[in-house]
Amino acid sequence: MPNRSTDALFQLIQSLERSEKRNFKLYMTRNSGSGDLKVIQLFDALDKMKQYDEEQLLVKNPSIQKQQLSNLKAHLYREILVSLRLLNQEENIDLILHEQLDFARLLYNKGLYLQSLKILDRIKDMARANNQVTYQLQALFLEKKIESLHITRSMQDRAEKLSNEVNEVNQRLELISVLSNLSLQLYSWYIKNGHARNEEDTAAVDAFLNDPAILRAKDVKEFYERLYLYQCYCWHAFITQNFLGYYRYCQKWVDLFEARPRMIEIETAHYIKGLHNLMGAHFDLRNYQKFNDTLQQFEQFMQTPVIQQNRNNLIQTFIYLNISKLNKHFMEGTFSEGLKLVPYIEEKLDAFELYLDRHRVLVFYYKIASLYFGSGDADKSIDYLNKIINWKVDLRTDLQCYARLLHLIAHYELGNFELLEYLLKSVYRFMYKMQNLSTVEEEIFGFLRKSFRLSPKQLKPQFETLLATLKPLEKSRLESRAFMYLDIISWLESKINHVPVQTIIRQKYLDALKRAEV
């Protein structure tokens, strides 16, 4: 059966809320003639389907001919979008400004130049108030057209003032464009590679911050320039594992929005991402109290209308809330308790299948695998790691590498030594190919190769030797990369002390709380 995600119209209909479907029916009733009955029939048929199947669609709706289907689908797709635009136009500043620009153009086409100019003035004021620079420029372009083609006598020195306005807006747009490009490129680098593996990676990432736009933006106080500047510094600090810098710029990112509450409504997705990154920074630094405070703030924000009335925002907050909840269990050493989240997360991953990118799914699989491993269920951990290993994707090579390494250690825990000899060679070759072998990984591989020949009595000193070798590397900027993905230190301590991994991590957490109270 065809995959339901391959048909755009089916995806769109499945994404509609009940109120949006009702509005579409009302819109079609008001605005269409008898010729659109087949469009409504097609809508109803697709709405009832669980998965898109064109053959079944035609069988159950004989009045729709196969040769008509393509045109009917295109027409229905457009009508749904029009009805959604009419329903949501008062909720979105982009749609409001776009509508006003349409009105200004219509008045201009009617020859009502002064009326058009009045609307353009309102558009510019509204755009400035809401940091919508591109709409300012569109309004200015139409205003220039009117002033250059018609004698309006609307203002003295109009040409000079308009030229200055356009130059100012163009300069802003140029800087915003460069900064947003840099931010996107840094994020893309991380999605492809993960954290910096060596000095070469660090130099490649440093180059992004050497762009002249970064220096120019430092003195600019406007919203989007600050937002993209902070994002550039955030991604750079995160990739290079400068977690204190990462925290500082995540906080600046969130503070930028909280100083301008209106922008939370306009750029909700950026605010959600900022809070997510701030929780991630607290997790990396083990700021337990601040992590919990930000998590509580995030949960409260999730209940606001701007989240509850927007499917995209709901999906994004589901992702980030549950990643943070899993991180909380990792920090506190409550792995077995955290497993209670897994059925709900899997249910939502299935429900949101159409909307989730592969990167997010991979992250969930890795975190769930780590949760099972930490709770002592190596078998179940392997099941989730296999989902990552067998998923042929060209992103997050770091996750691909550490999934294989954790997969190797899970088999070691189960005593699958015959399989391990093959896996050791395979995983080593893969990590070498991906340039993902640092001192930490080399030491782990060396230990595992030797361990096959050691008796249980001989193993403990070897565990202690490996622990003594790896412990100082936790503070090395580039070597610490491995410890972010795999808490090998706690695993070694658990083997030496013959207690579960989560017991070791839980005790570290409790000790840290006691120190904080002193």
Tokens representing 256 are 């930028």
Separation CA 192–CA 239 (nearest Å): 11
Half-sphere exposure for 320 (CA within 13 Å, toward CB): 26
- In Å, how far from its chain's centre is CA 503? 32
Q: Distance between CA 430 and CA 404 in Å, rounded?
A: 9
Long-range Cβ contact pairs of 23-32 (< 8 A, separation 24 or more): 23/83, 23/86, 23/87, 24/79, 24/80, 24/83, 24/84, 27/79, 27/82, 27/83, 27/86, 28/79, 28/83, 32/79
pLDDT digits 0-9 by tens, 263-274: 999 999 999 999
Q: How many CB atoms lie within 10 A of CB 184?
A: 14
**Cβ neighbours of 461 (radius 10 Å):** 11
What was the pLDDT predicted at 517?
Answer: 80
Cβ atoms of 489 and 467 closer than 8 Å? yes
Q: Residues 366, 14, 299, 244: is their CA dihedral positive or negative?
A: positive
CA distance 32 to 30: 6
Rounded Cα distance between 442 and 403, Å, is 16
Which pLDDT score is estimated for 4?
A: 42
Please classify residue 457 by burial: count the beta carbons closer than 10 Å to its beta carbon, then call 0-12 exposed, 13-18 middle and 19+ buried.
exposed
Domain locations along the chain:
4-88, 93-154
Given this model, what pLDDT does residue 1 score?
A: 31
What is the chain's alpha carbon radius of gyration, rounded to the nearest angstrom? 28
Report how far residue 354's alpha carbon sits from residue 100's, in angstroms, rounded to the nearest whole number: 33
Rounded Cα–Cα distance for residues 291 and 421 (Å): 41
Tokens matching residue 330: 């990792």
Q: How far apart are CA 121 and CA 451, in angstroms?
A: 76
Cβ-in-10-Å burial (0-12, 13-18, 19+) of 200 comes to exposed
> Which pLDDT does position 157 carry in this prediction?
74
Three-state DSSP at 6 gives: helix
Q: Are 258 and 485 in contact (CB under 8 A)?
A: no
In the prediction, which pLDDT does 393 show? 63
Provide block-wise average pLDDT over 10 residues at a time, the chain (518 residues). Answer: 63 90 88 71 92 90 89 93 81 88 94 92 95 95 87 66 92 96 96 88 95 93 96 97 96 98 95 98 95 97 93 94 97 96 96 86 95 96 94 76 94 91 92 86 91 83 94 85 88 94 95 86
pLDDT of residue 192: 86
Residue 346: CB atoms within 10 Å:
12
Give the pLDDT score at 307: 94
Pairs from 483-491 (Cβ < 8 Å, separation ≥ 24): 483/440, 484/195, 484/241, 484/284, 485/366, 485/398, 485/399, 485/402, 485/405, 485/406, 486/370, 486/402, 486/405, 486/406, 486/409, 487/330, 487/374, 488/440, 488/444, 491/409
